[in-house]
Amino acid sequence: MAAAEATRQVAPRSLANPVRALGRSTLAAVRMVGSVGVFAVRGVAAALTSPWFLGQLWRQFVAIGFFSLPVVGLTAIFTGAALALNIFTGGGRFNAEQVMPQIVALGITRELGPVLAALMLAGRVSAAIAAEIGAMRATEQIDAMRTLSTDPFRYLVGPRLLAGVLMTPLLTAVADTIGVAGGWLVATRVLDFSSAVYIRNTIDFLQSWDIVSGLIKAAVFGFIVALMGCYHGYNAKGGARGVGRATTHAVVSSAILIFGSDYLLTTLFTHAS
């Protein structure tokens, strides 16, 4: 990641001294965590305090929320359908095929809906944000904005963070619905389930915490996706190549953080319920 940049200067020497290289990489990583932390605090402060740039906020709602619907919908329906087939097969090993609707619904609302929607957003939204802000950085537009008495954190970062946190749960709710619909399609058309039984089993089984915990995860993931896009774009260095690097870093770091936080949140939520 960016740690590689910090060590680039000393590469020849570091080959001879791996301990020093390890130390430098660790320090660079720690520095990055700190840097991201500071950036996040500034971004959140900009997002939560007035003045707000409502026009920009709306644009981001549409860009992050509405335009991500097709990708999320496609992901959800295929995942739901495939999951239904697999759970059916698994359930068949205990003569418990009829429990498939419940397991599919649980898997989608608690885990697959939020995580897969977030991963698709990491690829789509995080990359786009990093590219846009990175390009602005490379062409001095961010400096220009500051000289025009406008705080780039308020104009660029805040709206994107807010849009990430607010739109991702909505997208996940759509993903949950369409995922269950995918399972329902497979169940009713291929596996000979009765439509009413499938739906009734799903609804009776699901508890509100299943859905809500998934939406909380989605909000966290949405924040991560927007933050990584903004951070790497804002700190892009070195022209077009720097923008490309920023985009890659944004997607990769978003994905890693999504998986990590998913595990932590799942553990937390399992103990809570």
Residues that bind other proteins (CB under 8 A): 9, 53, 66-70, 72-73, 94, 96, 98-99, 132, 135-136, 139-141, 143-151, 155, 174, 177-178, 180-181, 184, 195-196, 199-204, 207
CB of 209 to other proteins, least distance (A): 10
CB of 175 to other proteins, least distance (A): 9
CB of 36 to other proteins, least distance (A): 19
CB of 257 to other proteins, least distance (A): 26
> Distance (Å, rounded) from C-alpha 159 to C-alpha 234?
14
C-beta closer to other proteins: residue 97 or 262: 97
Closest CA to 119 of 109, 131, 130, 127: 127
CB of 225 to other proteins, least distance (A): 18
> Distance (Å, rounded) from C-alpha 92 to C-alpha 36?
48
Closest CA to 247 of 232, 262, 226, 261: 232
> Distance (Å, rounded) from C-alpha 250 to C-alpha 227?
9
CB of 82 to other proteins, least distance (A): 18
C-beta closer to other proteins: residue 58 or 66: 66
C-beta closer to other proteins: residue 105 or 255: 105
C-beta closer to other proteins: residue 4 or 203: 203
Distances (CA, A) of 127 to 10, 15, 80, 255, 259: 30, 33, 26, 11, 17
Return the amino acid letter for 215: L
> Distance (Å, rounded) from C-alpha 13 to C-alpha 15?
5
> Distance (Å, rounded) from C-alpha 179 to C-alpha 46?
35
C-beta closer to other proteins: residue 10 or 264: 10
CB of 268 to other proteins, least distance (A): 22
CA angle 47, 52, 54 (to 5 degrees): 110
C-beta closer to other proteins: residue 52 or 269: 52
Token pair in block for residue 19: 């301990």
CB of 177 to other proteins, least distance (A): 4
> Distance (Å, rounded) from C-alpha 256 to C-alpha 211?
23
C-beta closer to other proteins: residue 103 or 220: 103
What dihedral do alpha carbons 215, 217, 221, 223 form, nearest 10°? 80
C-beta closer to other proteins: residue 136 or 257: 136
Contact 130, 2 (CB under 8 A): no
Q: How far apart are the first and last CA of the chain?
A: 37
